[in-house]
Structures are given as C-alpha cells and as structure tokens.
Structure 1
Amino acid sequence: MNRTYWYMSLLVLLIWSCSRDKAATPSFQGFVQPSGFPAPVYPLAANPVTLAGFELGRKLFYEPRLSRNNTISCGSCHLQTSAFTHHGHDISHGIEDRLGSRNAPPIMNLAWNTTFMWDGGIFDLDLQPVAPISNFVEMDETVSNVLEKLRNTAPYPELFRKAFGSKDITTATMMKAMSQFMIMVISDQSKYDSVKRGQASFTPDENSGYVVFQQHCNACHREPLFTDQSFRNNGIGPGPNNDSGRFAITLQPADMYAFKVPSLRNLAYTAPYMHDGRFYSLQGVLTHYTSEVTDMPTLDPLLKTSGKPGIALSATEQQQLLAFLNTLNDKKFITDKRFSQETP
C-alpha cells in the first residue's frame, strides 16, 4: 500500500508539473494582426507562419554563412537594439567593411509593405534577401552558394524538414522561412498604441504635438504605420554620390531624388536619419523641414504649399511635435526575446 501510494503521489506530481509548465509557456500564435492596424498585404495564405518556420527564419537572419566569407548576417546591419537599423553609421558597412551608399532601413511591420528598399526596387518580401546576399558591398555571395553551405551544415536539413516537410533546402523554402521571421517583427506596443487602445493618455505637450503632426505630417506619415509607402523628394538635395533614388528603378523624371517615406516609429533608436544618414538628431530633421528644404523640379508638392519650400513650425510647435514623436518609441520591440539572436 505504501508503494502504491508513493507511485500515485509521483504520478500526480508529474501531471501537476507538466500542466504548470504548459501554462507558463504561451502557445505560439503565429501572425496576429494588431488592433487598429490595417489588413497585411503579405500573402499569408501562401506562407502561413509556423513555430518551426519562424524559428528557422530567425536562425537564418542571424546566420553569417549568408555572406561570402561567413562574417556578415542580416542581423549585422539590422540590430534589434536599434529597431533593426545600423546604428552609428551614416551609410552602412558590409563585408570586409565595404561602404554602401545608404543607411540600412529598419526591419519593422514589413507585412504591410508593398515595396522594399529606399528606392522600392523590390516588390516581394520573399525576394528581399536576394539583394543583400548578392550585393558586392553587403554580403557578396550567391544564393546557390548559400544553399550549398546550409545543406552541409547541421542542423539546417532537419530544421527545414520540421518547417517544410523535407530536408531539401531550396531558394523558395529559405526565403519563405526568412519571411516568416520578418513579418513577425511587429512594433505595436508604443505609448501611442496604448493611447489608441484606451490604455493610456497623452500629456498636454504630446497631445499638442499630435495635433501638429496631423496638420503637417500625416499626409505622408500616415497612421498607424506612419508611412504611406510612397516615394517623395523631401528637398534634402543630392548627397555626395548623387543617389537618384526611385529614378534608378523607374527611369521616370518625376522620380528623381525621390525615396520611400520611412515610418516614424522608434525614432529614438534609429538615428541617423534619411536614406544616407545625413541628420544625426531629430532636431536636425525639423530644422531641415522648417528652413533648409531645397527647391527642385521634383520636390514634393506638399512641401511647397505656402509658396516657400518647407513647413512653417514655431519653436514651440517643434518641441510639441518631438514630444509626440517620442510616444512612437516601442521599448518592448527592441527587447523582445522572440526576435533576438539567442533562443528565448
């Protein structure tokens, strides 16, 4: 009887322990559309996010074998602590410290993007990794070489089997895994989001700044993503390398010096600003818009409404606007262990 009682007690303890562990570990939900966000444009039906696919995509994102000499990963230029930008560089550095011509854009809320890169040269997230992998100054590798390296590196064949049902590693499955990770990198936990969900309130300065934002900025930086996905010439003028922006893709004269409107989320973590990182502070950005906009044939019409290039903002309005922009910073996003290189 004593032995039976002991076995029964052990069984009850094991069942309780397992149930507690299960309750303590949240189940993987896959992609969830945040409250207040529009429907995503990424074709989720063709590539639904699974736990195995997401974890494989995360591992590939931080995999230096994607570069020719196995030293540069996607995470090398897209640092989570900097909202997945290349903090501290005006233009990003790649393999063998080669200099690019642009500042790495953030990886954030990509499920709602219709184009990618500063010039919109890529229109499918599943194709996006091909550009940095094959770019001479970024990773300087070929996709075929990357696939061969992964096929000969444990545990990748098994990870691909878990994610896609086969150990065969192809371009399609590699890209789909990386997309599963990238579309999960969602920033929607800022103070602004809490206010919109009725969980917090703006301070008087933040609220005044919100009014300024709606009057002068929302046409291009449309809520809640804070970008309208368009390409515009904002009057900063050509940089040292005369980057023509969207024009290089479309060859349309109206696109000369037009670049994709960036999101205003997480600006506290993503300095420097603009496609070539020429502004080191948000005050520098505001100074540009209030007094330094260069009039050019392709300057965006919204910056010429008063007959004088730029946006008229008083010193008080600028400070109020900065207060509002600070409500778009998402500390949880840059510390979320799901997106970090280490396994959560």
Structure 2
Amino acid sequence: MNNDKGKFHLMRGMQKYVLVLLFLIPLLAFTFKDLYTLYIPEYFPKPVYDFKKEPLTKEKVELGRVLFYDPVLSKDGTVSCASCHTSYNAFAHTDHALSHGIGDSIGKRNAPALFNLAWQKDFMWDGAVNHIEVQALAPISDKKEMAESIENVVKKLQTKKLYRTLFYKAFSDSTITGQHLLKAIAQFQLTLISAGSKYDQVKKGKESFTEQEQKGYEIFKQNCHSCHQEPLFSSYQFAANGLPMDSYLKDVGRMGVTRQKKDSLMFKIPSLRNLSYSYPYMHDGRFTRLSQVINHYTNGIQQNSKVSKELRKKIILSDHDKVDLIAFLLTLNDREFVKNQNFQFPKEILLPSEGK
C-alpha cells in the first residue's frame, strides 16, 4: 500500500510539472519567434542602447515602420516621419537645405540622416533629446514640423481598426498609448543599421581598396579621424567646426539646450557614411557638394576658441589629395541599406486609403 501511495503522489507531482511545461512552452515559443534579429558586425563597438533590457520584436518593429510612414502623426495629415527622412536618401532629404513641415513651413535645420542610432546617446543636431524612445516626440510636437500633440495622435489612431490590431499584436493591448507609440517608432529606427558599404566589405576581407581609395583613406586618418571615428565615422559628440553663423537662422547650436556659452555653435558630429545619398551637408544644409565641405576644412574655417585643436592647424591638401579623399568617402556609401525593402514604405500593410 505504501508503495502504491508513493507512486500516486509521484504521478500527481509529475502531472503538475507537465501542466506547467505545457503552459510555458507556447509562451517561450511565442517569445523567441517574435524576436527581431539584428546583424551587427563584430568590428562595431558595443551599442549604447541596451537590447537585452529592451529587446526588439517583429511586431513592434512592424508597427513602428507603419507609424513612421503614416502622416496621421501630423496635425493636418500631410507630413510623416518619412517626409523628411526618406529611405532612398539614407533617411535624410535632398531636395532642400532645411526641413519642411505642415503648411509648407520651413524649419531651421537640415534633417539629419537616420542610421546606426543604437550607438548614439543624444539625438537632434543640438542633443536636445537624450533617449531614442522619446525622440519622435520632438518632431511630432514641433510647430514647424508636424505641429501635433501626442494625445491627439493617440485619439486618431484609436479610431482605426488597423492600429488597434497592430498595437495588440505588438503590446498585447489594443488600447493605444503615447508611450507604446514612441517605443514602436524607436524600435523601427533601431533596425536602421548601415554596415554594407565597400568599406565594410574591406573590413571583412571580402574586397580591397583601389590605390586611389587607399590614398584617400590615409588622408582621412591623418586629418578627419579624431571627429569621424571608425567604424561608425562619428564620435557622436558635439563640436564647433568653424562655420560662421547663418545671419538669418542665428542658430547657436547646443547652447540653446544647455544655456552655457561654451556650447555656442557646437553641433552633433554627423557620420560620414552614405554621403552620396544624404546631401546637403552641415546642420543648415549650406553645402551641396563634398568638394565644398573639404574646401571649408582646408581654407574656410572661421577660427575661434570653440574650434578644436585639430581644426586650428592648417590642413593642406592638393587637388589630387582632395580627389583621393572623396574617392575614399564614396566607399562609405551603403547601397544595400538604402535599397532595403524592410525599411521602405509598408505598402503591404498601409495602403494610402488606410492612412487617411
């Protein structure tokens, strides 16, 4: 009898474990199935963004992609994130120097290219935003961009069956919130990794620089590397590059955020990747060609106390040197990135009639 009782209790204990496993296995399968896998080259530094704390999921990324392309985020339904950040331009724009918003309003800065955002801790040219999960709030609420409130955006989205479904798939809750909206957009933006240029192929040992590109690479390392550090080609710090202030825009840069004079005319250092797609250049889009940028650094720097020691020294480049340098910079263009279908307008989800 005692043996029978022991077997009975053992069987009941095993049943409990089996029931627990039957409950957990679908949850584990669901979790792993929905994780979004990022390709990060081994020669890239550790991201600033903590993917372990906040992992990407396919559903959140998909929702963020739809939101990124939907003008419903703007007050009059005419401007989306993609209006100023187009995939074919490395998520910058090329048709004008300054960003445009609703009612043809014109901003005071050039829309920066969006890629490799996981390695950045500050956003916007002046670093006004310090976390990617709230970054989208700035253009949504800016009067010269989308001119909308996050509360009104949520109300508009809540009326759409498409979004109630997408939010439920992403967050297991069909009730739309501003926090979830911003998080989803951030998750899509974090997938925008540019690491497929010729430079990257050289780093992987799959290609080699031409003689001219190699010469340009050496010139780059001698003159540009302190600010535009490999392999991201930016330190993402703030610096003054000797540009005179635009007399109309009167943009003081980071000082407008910190209110400290030492930050006057300091702007976030942009990456040199994808330059062929992301012109015009500088925070106000004043240069349309790479040759103009290089000429500025060789003979156009306005010397002042804000300019770094590296820029205070005279950079002497011959015409041949400049051509070689540009040849190297062109190896940083990532055609795979700008042609990636996963980053483009989600026509399979968001048809024009559904976005209105």
2:137 to 126, 130, 135: 130
Q: Is this contact kept in 2: 1:191–1:330, CA < 8 A?
A: yes
CA displacement at 1:300 relative to structure 2:
2.2
In the alignment, the residues of structure 1 paired with residue 49 and residue 187 of structure 2 have an alpha-carbon distance, to the nearest angstrom, of 10
CA displacement at 1:305 relative to structure 2:
2.8
* AA at the equivalent of 1:223: E
| Range that drifts further, 295-304 or 324-333 | 295-304
Q: 1:13-54 deviations in whole A, cap 9, x for unaligned?
A: xxxxxxxxxxxxxx9742332231111111223321111111
In the alignment, the residues of structure 1 paired with residue 51 and residue 156 of structure 2 have an alpha-carbon distance, to the nearest angstrom, of 28
* AA at the equivalent of 2:322: Q
* AA at the equivalent of 1:292: G
* AA at the equivalent of 2:116: N
SS at match of 2:276: helix
CA displacement at 1:235 relative to structure 2:
0.7
Q: Please list, as runs of the form range in 1=range in 2, the aligned pairs for 1:86-235 lying within 5 A after superposition.
A: 86-235=93-242
Q: 1:279-315 deviations in whole A, cap 9, x for unaligned?
A: 0100010111111111123222221135xxxx22121
* AA at the equivalent of 1:283: S
Match in the other structure for 1:63:
70
2:279 to 271, 287, 290: 271
Match in the other structure for 2:264:
256
In the alignment, the residues of structure 1 paired with residue 189 and residue 201 of structure 2 have an alpha-carbon distance, to the nearest angstrom, of 23
Q: 1:188-223 deviations in whole A, cap 9, x for unaligned?
A: 000000000000000000001000011100100000
Match in the other structure for 1:243:
251
CA displacement at 1:224 relative to structure 2:
0.6
Identity in percent: 45
Match in the other structure for 2:288:
280
SS at match of 1:290: helix
Q: Is this contact kept in 2: 1:33–1:40, CA < 8 A?
A: no
In the alignment, the residues of structure 2 paired with residue 246 and residue 323 of structure 1 have an alpha-carbon distance, to the nearest angstrom, of 32
In the alignment, the residues of structure 2 paired with residue 39 and residue 169 of structure 1 have an alpha-carbon distance, to the nearest angstrom, of 33
Match in the other structure for 2:344:
340
In the alignment, the residues of structure 2 paired with residue 224 and residue 295 of structure 1 have an alpha-carbon distance, to the nearest angstrom, of 29
Match in the other structure for 2:5:
none
SS at match of 2:288: coil
CA displacement at 1:253 relative to structure 2:
1.4
Instruction: In structure 1, list runs of 5 or more residues that go unmatched.
Output: 1-26
Superposed CA RMSD in Å reads 1.4
CA displacement at 1:342 relative to structure 2:
2.9
Q: Is this contact kept in 2: 1:33–1:39, CA < 8 A?
A: no
In the alignment, the residues of structure 1 paired with residue 157 and residue 36 of structure 2 have an alpha-carbon distance, to the nearest angstrom, of 28
Normalising by structure 2, what TM-score? Answer: 0.86
1:313 aligns with 2:317: yes
Matched residue count: 315
Normalising by structure 1, what TM-score? Answer: 0.89
SS at match of 1:46: coil
Q: 1:171-195 deviations in whole A, cap 9, x for unaligned?
A: 2111111111000011100000000
Structure 1 segments of 4 or more deviating over 2 A? 27-35
Which has the larger Rg?
Answer: 2
